[in-house]
Amino acid sequence: MVRVGVDENLAEELVAGFPAEAQIVRIPRQSSDVLDVDFWIIPFARKNAQETFRRLRGVKVVQSMMAGIDWIAPWLPKDVVLCDGRGIHDISASEWVLAAILASLKRFPLYRDMQTAQEWRGQAAETGGFLNERGPQIGQYKVLGDDLAGKTVLIVGYGSIGAAIEARLAPFGVNMLRVARSARNKPEVASVGELDKLLPQADIVVAIVPLTPETEGMIGARQIGLMKHGALLVNAARGPVVDTMALVEALQGRRISAALDVTDPEPLPQGHPLWSAPNCLITPHVGGSTPEFIHRAFRFGAEQVRRYIAGEPLENVVSDAGY
């Protein structure tokens, strides 16, 4: 029998698919009792996770249901196996990225603001940004949005979510560039050392890397300066991957636009300049949060427990690299 620790409020239907050899141990959120647990399915980014861990005895495996484990790794003992939620977020996160790209290109935030103000104005070109650039359309019509077709998209952090993003972008006829920790073929993926060379080629840059010491600040003032004028930066990774003040400066200078599901700091405090920066769409770290996500997560958790019981290798074991 393997003791599997879960949150006390977890719905019964989410543990119904666990192996019969798994004894479900419900962990109270407010308690000082010590509990014996072999396999802990850690609650989603719970702030008191470290405190809860101190009340657990015998933990051998910690399974995160989130792709990022930067909030766990610093305090988890090295002799405890840590597995991340890679693959669970592929659908929801990639759909958020696609929606953010389309909303930004089609200027939906601007038009929503106009709707709230009950204004019907085909005058977007007068609001600043990238819609008032001179071009052959001048004198014929105003540019009120942009097309995704034909754009070059650079995915920074080409893992399972990156591949899912590419699959959803493919029908739009975009050109793909890919960067990961190390280069590989089929598809062609450049190493992170090639990032500066690829940034000037991209119309859209999507950051989807895990937060590690190597990725913190990897998109700073120099990288933003290499981006095309009017390019779109999408951060669906972690806030500290992008230098916040460098981003604010570029936005205020109307050099680039941005769509952010994550920020640094987070939560973003009232009065922070990102809130009012032009051409910036912000959502409050909700890209992976959908009703279907939790079902995918616990199906994966059940399969991990089955592997553990059978003595098979676990998936998504976190290495020293942080993922």
In order along its 323 residues, the chain shows pLDDT tens digits of 999 999 999 999 999 999 999 999 999 988 889 999 999 999 776 778 999 999 999 999 999 998 888 889 899 999 999 999 999 999 999 999 999 999 999 999 989 998 999 988 775 444 555 665 667 777 666 778 899 999 999 999 999 999 999 999 999 999 999 999 999 998 999 999 999 999 999 999 999 999 999 999 999 999 999 999 999 999 999 999 999 999 999 999 999 999 999 999 999 999 999 999 999 999 999 998 898 999 999 999 999 999 999 999 999 999 876 66
Q: What tokens were used for 43?
A: 């609650």
Q: Is the peptide bond before 269 cis (omega within 30 degrees of 0)?
A: no
d(CA 291, CA 293): 6
Spot the catalytic one: 86, 89, 107, 285: 285
Long-range contacts of 121-128 (CB under 8 A, 24+ apart): 128/254, 128/278
d(CA 142, CA 135): 10
CA-based nearest residue to 68, from 181, 217, 236, 206: 236
Eight-class DSSP state of 285: S
d(CA 32, CA 161): 38
d(CA 41, CA 263): 26
Spot the catalytic one: 8, 119, 214, 266: 266
pTM, rounded to two decimals: 0.89
Tell me whether residue 266 is one of the annotated catalytic residues: yes
Outline where 65-126 has alpha helix (H): 90-105, 108-116
Tell me whether residue 238 is one of the annotated catalytic residues: yes
Domains of the chain, CATH where assigned: 2-88+289-310 (3.40.50.720), 90-106+146-282 (3.40.50.720)
Spot the catalytic one: 89, 238, 303, 312: 238
Tell me whether residue 95 is one of the annotated catalytic residues: no
Task: Name the one residue in this structure whose structure tokens are 């002799």.
Answer: 79
